[in-house]
Structures are given as C-alpha cells and as structure tokens.
Amino acid sequence: MELLSINNVWMMLCTALVFFMHLGFSLLEIGLTRQKNTLNILFKNIFIITVGLLLYCLIGFNLMYPGFREGSLGIFGFAGFGLDAVAAADLAYNEGYTYWTDFLFQGMFAATAATIVSGAVAERIKLVPFMIFVIIYIGFIYPIAGSWKWGGGFLDTLATPFYDFAGSTLVHSVGGWAALVAVWLLGARIGKFKNGKPQALPGHNIPLATAGVLILWLGWFGFNGGSVLSAEPGATSLVLVTTCLAAAAGGVVAFLVSTTLYKNFDLTMFLNGILGGLVGITAGADLMSPTDAILIGGIAGAIIVFAVAIIDNMKLDDPVGAIAVHLACGIWGTLAVGIFGAKAGGEQFISQLIGIGAYAVLCTGSTFIIFYVLKKTIGIRVSEKEELEGLDKHEHGMNAYPDFRLNEH
C-alpha cells in the first residue's frame, strides 16, 4: 500500500507537469507568430485541453484501452462510454498507480497531439473547422492510434513488438502527420513565399517563445518520467538524465549546424533543436545510455535544420516548425530504438518501420478526409482581409494587447 502511494504521488506530479506543457506550447506558438493572431492561438490551445479531457473521459480512454481479446487483430475495440467506477475502486488495478491517475495522465497526452497541429496551421485557419477537427482527432483518431501499441493492439503483438516508450510516434508523429496534411490543404500564409522563395514572417515575441521552450523542457520531466509508470528510482533517474542530455545536444547541434549554413546565430533554431532532441529521445528514453542520448539528441538537432529547409522548399508554411520537430524527429526517435540502446537490432528496426508506416497511413488518411470535407463544405481558410488584419479582430473581436498599437500588416 505504501509503495502504491509513493508511485501514485509520482504519477500525479508527472500529470501536473504534462498539464503545464500546454502553457509551454501556448507561449511558444504565440511567440513565433504575429501579434494580431495571439488571442486566436490562445483560444485554440484552451479549447484543446478542455474539450480534449472531456472527450477522453467520455470516449477516448476506453477506446484506447479496450482490452483486446487474445487472438484479435487489435485494430479497433471499445470498452464502453465514460469512466469505470468499479475499476476505480480496485486498488489492485495497477501496482504503480490508481485508475483515476491512469486516466488523467493519459488524457494529458491526448490533448498534446492536437496542440501540435494548432501551431502548424496558425494565422490562417478558421476557428470552427479547427475545433471540429480537434473533436474528431482527439475523440477518435488518437485513441485508436494509441490502442495499437499502448492498448495491447496489433503493434504490441508483433513477433518483435513495436516500441515507443513515451510517444515519439504515438503522440508526436500522430500530431506531426496531421500537421503535414493540414498545412498542405490549407496553403501558405500571404507573403510567406515570394517568387517561389520563402520569406521571413518574424514572430512578435521571442522571449515568450523561449519561455515556452523552457517550460516544455521542464514538462518533459513528467512526459517521460511519468511514462516509467512508477517511482522506481533507477528507471526514473535514468529517463530524466537521457531526456535532459538529448535536449541539450539537440539544441547545441541545431545552433551549430544552422550557424554554419546560414552564418547567423538563430535563437529559434536553437530552441527548436532542444525540442527536436526531446522528441527524438522520447521513444527510447528508458533504453539508452547517456552517450546514446547525446547522439540521438544531436542527430535530431541536425535533422531540425535540414527538415525546416526541406519543408520551405516544398512550399509548405509551418510558422512554428511543428512538422520538423514533431514529425521528422518523431520518426528519427522511433527508428533510433532499433539502432541504439537495449533493443538495438535488425528485427526491432523492422518493427519500428512497420509502426511508423501504420501510423502514417492512419493519421494522414484520417486528417485528409476530415479537412478535405471541411474545405469543400464550410471552408477552412479565412478571407484575405481577415488574414491581413488579424484573426484576433475578426474571429474574436478584441486584441491580445489593447494598450499597444498594432503596427504590422
């Protein structure tokens, strides 16, 4: 009983840290975008966490952990609506934490996937279509995706099971694939590309973006540390060490590579390198040595720089670098499980590829259907006038900074 209490307190603390990450995402997104869209981005992030938790309670939790029967394909299952009071009353539910803690911790993860999309489509998406997407994606798509591995589905029953410790694929790539499709269907912001060349549309508050990244780094202590699913000292300590080293290496390598290529010290690339390192280590944070973590994070930092350039060359407009951070580094981190650490080997690498492919098909296919239908019915993009004058004014009727004069176009 004492051990259960200790483990449960640790899990609740980690839940709070993951919740705190939503402030980090909010600050990062508003910092890297323009002043005239600040309220709109904050509104979307608040909508995601509130509606996400409600949907996860009513549908998502039981859709993600349906208790697949042995021998089933493990592709779809549903254990019923709402939370289970009988299971919650059973203190033997899990040796590491209670039923209630399990629900809340996993619910925080669910909301994160949609937050990734929020940043990528910022500054030109209509609010109502985005909210409809969030409801469908968090309510149904994310839980089904999670059930394939964490819920005991078919990826967990491969001869060599697919492995994703805390969500490089199950959270970050699930959001990243959706962001990629959404950005493609939505189109670039006005002024982003001129004669085919990308133009800088600077964010209005880099100090806020920096604060957001540091908050996210702190939150990752809960994101990865809580994924140990207990307070076992050796495992949790190792995970926090590998997480921090990967983040540090990702930031340093991203700034070095970007400085070498572009001859300037780009803080935003430094910041996204940190996030790339965090995303990269998340799939195997419990399996890696400190040296492995530095290598994984460092490679993720380099990937960020080149992925941003590739995305620009594809004429895709991602204001916050979400696709490079969460998709490119999510894929890398998932593959790294088969290259480094305790599970390195050919069979594991193949299983990681299978998992990446399965999630790519599910997430790109579902996102395309959702946004394409919305585009052809109610539309997904604001008018040119609304975009130029700002979504705060037209979607919300107010400014985030009413005491300051808006001096941008």
Q: Which pTM value belongs to this model?
A: 0.94
Question: Distance from first CA to last CA of the chain, Å, rounded?
Answer: 61
pLDDT tens digits, residue range 356-399? 999 999 999 999 999 999 999 999 999 999 999 999 999 999 99
For residue 393, give the 3-state DSSP assignment. helix
Residue, of 405 and 114, whose pLDDT is higher? 114
CATH architecture, range 2-396: Orthogonal Bundle (1.10)
Helix pair 2-31, 38-55: axis angle to 10 deg = 150
pLDDT tens readout for residues 108-165: 999 888 899 999 999 999 999 999 999 999 999 999 999 999 999 999 999 999 999 9
Q: What angle do CA 348, 164, 338 make, to 5 degrees?
A: 25
Whether the per-residue pLDDT at 277 is higher than 60: the answer is yes
How many Å apart are CA 352 and CA 337, to the nearest integer? 8
SS3 316: coil
Which percentage of the chain shows pLDDT scores above 90?
84
Q: Give the SS3 label for residue 47.
A: helix
Q: Per the structure block, which two tokens stand in for 208?
A: 């806020």
Question: What are the DSSP calls for 90-141, one per residue?
Answer: -TTS-SSS-HHHHHHHHHHHHHHHHHHHHHHTTTTB-HHHHHHHHHHIIIII
Which of the residue ranges 65-79, 315-329, 340-354 would you say has the lowest mean pLDDT?
A: 65-79
Angle between helices 38-55 and 127-136 (to 10 degrees): 30
Task: Spell out the domain ranges in the chain.
Answer: 2-396
pLDDT, averaged across the chain = 93
Q: Could you tell me where the DSSP H helices lie in 263-345?
A: 267-282, 290-313, 322, 329-336
The token duo for 247 is: 């983040």
